[in-house]
Amino acid sequence: TSIFEKDFDGLKIIKFDKRINIIDVGASDGISVKYFLNNLDVNKIICFEPYKQYTKILKKIKNLIVKPYAIGDKNCSRKIFFPRYSLLNFKYDLITYAHYEIKLLKHFIKDFKFRKNLTIQSSNLKIKKVNKLNYKIDLIKVDTNGFEFQVINGLLKVIKKDLPAIIIEINKDSKKIEKILNKYKYKSFYYSIYDKKFSKKMTRNCTNKYFLQKKHTDDNLNANNQW
**Cα separation values, 89 from 81, 92, 185, 202, Å:** 22, 10, 54, 44
Report the predicted TM-score, pTM, of the whole model to 2 decimal places. 0.90
- Tens digits of residue pLDDT in 156-211: 999 999 999 999 998 889 999 999 999 999 999 999 988 999 999 887 778 899 99
With 70 as the cut, is the pLDDT of residue 225 above it? no
Q: Which of 25-29, 95-99, 222-226 has the lowest mean pLDDT?
A: 222-226
Around 171, how many Cα atoms within 13 Å sit in the side-chain half-sphere?
Answer: 23
Q: Which of 114-118, 181-185, 197-201, 212-216 has the lowest mean pLDDT?
A: 114-118
- Tens digits of residue pLDDT in 51-79: 999 999 999 998 899 999 999 999 999 99
